[in-house]
């Protein structure tokens, strides 16, 4: 009888401990950032755009990279579908990030734009993908595709719709 009680106690303890480890690894995402930048074009046409996606808001920001910029700069709140936003967060929280690996090119290309995807977790830790200088990722589409699909559904405010003045 003692051995049976001890076995059950050990089993319950192991189950409780394994549950704690899983909870630590499954952090909630608090913010998704998508950043894109122009490549090598005239300085007055170069731009930097950023979507900051949070559980209850989305902000789109654009700036120019030169003093005499022709870029339509500003920061705008973006309306969104709450259910689609919730689905995006859930989708990204279920991605196994350990299966995503960066592949740097043998010969880095000149110029070209860049894109960045950054996930910020509830514990303030971040994880990111940096698509610049010809870099790619194995399984990177697990992050990029849901984010891009979601961003395509957004309607920017009229003031932000044109990239240039």
Question: What are the pLDDT digits (tens) for 43-59?
Answer: 999 999 999 999 999 99
Average pLDDT, the chain: 86
Query: What is the predicted pLDDT for the residue at 26?
Result: 54
For residues 133 and 61, what is the distance between their CA atoms, to the nearest angstrom?
23
Question: What are the pLDDT digits (tens) for 8-21?
Answer: 333 333 333 333 33
Neighbours of 38 (CB within 10 A): 20
Taking the model in full, what pTM does it have? 0.82
Percent of the chain whose predicted confidence (pLDDT) is above 70: 84
**Which stretches within the chain are classed as H helix?**
2-25, 82-93, 141-153, 158-161
Query: What is the predicted pLDDT for the residue at 25?
Result: 53
Return the CATH number of the domain spanning residue range 27-161.
3.30.1560
Contact between 111 and 40 (Cβ < 8 Å): yes
Q: Quick one: which H or E segment has residue 64?
A: strand 57-64
For residues 121 and 31, what is the distance between their CA atoms, to the nearest angstrom?
7
């Amino acid at each position: 009888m003692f051995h049976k009680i001890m076995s059950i106690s050990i089993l319950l303890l192991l189950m409780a401990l394994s549950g704690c480890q899983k909870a630590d690894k499954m952090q909630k995402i608090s913010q998704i950032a998508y950043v894109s930048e122009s490549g090598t074009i005239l300085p007055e046409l170069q731009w930097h755009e950023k979507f900051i996606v949070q559980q209850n808001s989305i902000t789109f920001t654009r700036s120019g990279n030169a003093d005499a910029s022709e870029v339509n700069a500003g920061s705008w709140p973006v309306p969104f579908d709450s259910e689609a936003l919730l689905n995006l967060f859930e989708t990204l929280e279920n991605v196994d990030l350990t299966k995503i690996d960066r592949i740097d090119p043998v010969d880095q290309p000149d110029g070209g734009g860049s894109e960045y995807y950054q996930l910020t977790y509830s514990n303030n830790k971040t994880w990111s993908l940096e698509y610049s200088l010809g870099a790619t990722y194995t399984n990177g589409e697990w992050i990029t595709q849901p984010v891009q699909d979601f961003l395509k559904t957004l309607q920017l405010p009229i003031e932000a719709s044109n990239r240039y003045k």
